[in-house]
Amino acid sequence: MKHKRNAFLFIFFSLIASALAGFTIYENAEDGFISYTVDPEKQDIQLYWKDDCGTILKSIKNLKTFVESKHATLVFAMNGGMYKQDNSPLGLYIENKKTLAHLNTKTGNGNFYLKPNGIFYLTSNKIAAVCKTEDFTDASNITFATQSGPMLVIDGLIHSSFIEGSTNLNFRNGVGILPNGKILFAMSTKEMNFYDFAAYFQKQGCKNALYLDGFVSRTYLPEKHWVQTDGNFGVMIGVIEKNK
């Protein structure tokens, strides 16, 4: 009986360990959010989808391995927009000035199609922006872009479809542009509604902010002792530092 009990405990704790794979104990979560501010003029921020062999990276763990193979360190990472069942981008995706998925202006069901949706992009002169899909101009100087939806904050106002006190709760992540031009990435560390999530970006001063995804949301930010390396994504956002 003792052997059976020990075997049961071993299996139980093994399952718990498996469930926690890719996670660490979290610290420094501020008021229900984990956030990271990026200076696009000084930091190397890129969008990732596939490795050099054309294999979809999917997880932050694989992204970390890929970055390290380039003699660099992954400083920050987050899933970067909604995707199809085959992990391909649901909307526009530009990587290193190449359009790998085209702008999606269709109507449909789900968060992506809760208009207006929008685009987060970076230019060759190191300017970051978030705009409504309808306002996007396919300029030749855009180095990276990802489309998702809905917009969270539009011209300083919370998306009109969001309801204060809504019981539609989920983990969520998004991106906004601060008044100084820096990029604010944030993920909720607890389930919350769209209104409260958008209000966070509004309170930080973001004139425009974009929802990236929910439920599947993951963030890798070791400087704040927040490390999630699992996932099954399409596009991911990464900040890297070249090894000296």
Measured between alpha carbons, how far is 56 from 53 in angstroms, rounded to an integer?
Answer: 9
What value does the mean pLDDT take over residues 85-112? Answer: 97
What value does the mean pLDDT take over residues 208-231? Answer: 97
| Predicted pLDDT of residue 30 | 63
How many helices (DSSP H) and strands (DSSP E) are in the chain? 3, 16
Tokens 């969001």 correspond to 162
What value does the mean pLDDT take over residues 78-84? Answer: 97
Measured between alpha carbons, how far is 78 from 238 in angstroms, rounded to an integer?
Answer: 7
Higher pLDDT, 29 or 199: 199
Give the other-Cβ count within 10 Å of 186's Cβ.
Answer: 27
Taking a C-beta distance cutoff of 8 angstroms, is the pair 87, 56 a contact?
yes
In this predicted structure, the answer to whether residue 145 has a pLDDT above a threshold of 80 is yes
| Predicted pLDDT of residue 16 | 43
What value does the mean pLDDT take over residues 23-33? Answer: 58
pLDDT band of 19, cuts 50, 70, 90: very low
Measured between alpha carbons, how far is 197 from 172 in angstroms, rounded to an integer?
Answer: 7
What would the two tokens of residue 149 be? 């939806």
In this predicted structure, the answer to whether residue 203 has a pLDDT above a threshold of 50 is yes
Mean residue pLDDT across the chain = 90
* CB neighbour list of residue 6: distance below 8 Å, 6 or more residues apart: none
What value does the mean pLDDT take over residues 147-169? Answer: 98
In this predicted structure, the answer to whether residue 20 has a pLDDT above a threshold of 50 is no
38 strand-pairing partners: 183
In this predicted structure, the answer to whether residue 117 has a pLDDT above a threshold of 60 is yes
In this predicted structure, the answer to whether residue 86 has a pLDDT above a threshold of 50 is yes
> Three-state SS for 146?
strand
In this predicted structure, the answer to whether residue 159 has a pLDDT above a threshold of 80 is yes
In this predicted structure, the answer to whether residue 65 has a pLDDT above a threshold of 70 is yes
In this predicted structure, the answer to whether residue 13 has a pLDDT above a threshold of 70 is no
pLDDT band of 138, cuts 50, 70, 90: confident
In this predicted structure, the answer to whether residue 69 has a pLDDT above a threshold of 90 is yes
In this predicted structure, the answer to whether residue 226 has a pLDDT above a threshold of 60 is yes
| Predicted pLDDT of residue 29 | 52
